[in-house]
Amino acid sequence: MHRIDVHHHFVPPIYRTAMARRGLSKVADAEVPEWSADASLSVMNANAIRTAFLSISAPGVYFGDIEEARTLARECNEYAARLSDVHPGRFGSFAVLPMPFTQHACHEAVYALDTLKADGIVLLGSTEGKFLGAPEFDELMAELDRRRAVVFIHPNLHRTSEELRLGAPGFLIEFLCDTTRAALNLILTGTLERYPNIRWILAHAGGFLPYVAWRLSLANLMPDYASKAPAGVLNYIRRFYFDTALSPAPYPQAALRELVGPSRILFGSDFPFAPAPVTAMQRDELEHSVIWGDDARAGIDRGNALSLFPRLAGAQDANAAARSDYGGQLRSLKNAAAVASVRLINMLRNR
């Protein structure tokens, strides 16, 4: 039980109820999955994930009512904190904020980090049409910078993506656009330069950012941007961490290897939006990766995350039963069937 999963969602009952009241049953055209703490623990045990950092996915907590968003953020964050207490060593949390309302977001961030001891913050690439890097978020950035916070950037569907009305579901392509836009905006607005103490994690291997990095570096030749990003675009890109969620294949991993190297890459599952068989498929892909050697793989699985979350380095494994359960699963017919299922799914995907 060694892996640290930085991209692991939860859907607490209060959040599901809030979405249901508005008839929202999908996120970027993906059905909101059933979720429970036991379901997370089961997939964690089956994939040697010792600790998972829980986060709320898109569309966040704002559904048109500011006060509801504040209350919902607080209830979700306290729910995650209780799970961390009940299952020590198994769950951490990235606190959700009532974005895009900066003052309220600052207040919740301070409470979550200082009182609830959240491990970091989750921010959507865009909320209500506003991307990270927008000047109205500077007060929040300053607060997070003072605390040297870890910020996990998860994509949302920007309204321009929704207006395209492409046949493809939003999570396939448009999510990646949102992450890429947000990361570039953070660089070109000077946000990364002004607030260097924030540690950023980009979901899904950074969207398209690694692939288009050279093209983006042409901004270094444009005075308006060069003055706000004086270290150079590529240097700022290399300050990000990148998770492997739904991106374990050689293509994105090779791009990351060439751009940032293995030390900036973190394991992510995207459970439960990536259901248990897909989580196993991703883990299997990384275990047999031709891109990474054993040392790099160990860093991706765990070591790199310890530089961001040192509290996990000396923690006792609080759930010995999970270890024995994992060993039992490896020997079980159920696990053998799961392995066969993973191989079949992978064959269907890899066409």
In this prediction, residue 323 carries a pLDDT of 45
- Predicted TM-score (pTM) of the model is 0.91
Which of 3.20.20.140, 3.40.50.300, 3.30.70.1150, 1.10.3660.10 would CATH assign to domain 3-349?
A: 3.20.20.140
Kindly calculate the radius of gyration of the chain based on its CA atoms and give it in whole angstroms. 19
Q: Where are the domains of the chain?
A: 3-349
**How does pLDDT run across 110-139, given as a tens digit for each residue?**
999 999 999 999 999 999 999 999 999 999
Report yes or no: 244 and 286 within 8 Å, Cβ to Cβ. Answer: yes
Predicted local confidence at residue 342, as pLDDT: 63
Name the β-bridge partners of 120. Answer: 94
Share of the chain above pLDDT 90, in %: 87
User: pLDDT at position 165, please?
Assistant: 86
- Position 109 pLDDT exceeds 70: yes
Tens of pLDDT along 131-170?
A: 999 999 999 999 999 999 999 999 999 999 989 888 899 9
The pLDDT of 263-283, averaged and rounded, is: 97
pLDDT tens column, 53-84: 999 999 999 999 999 999 999 999 999 999 99
Q: What is the pLDDT of residues 83-105, one digit of tens each?
A: 999 999 999 999 999 999 999 99
Convert the pLDDT of each residue in 202-226 to its tens digit.
Answer: 999 999 999 999 999 999 999 999 9
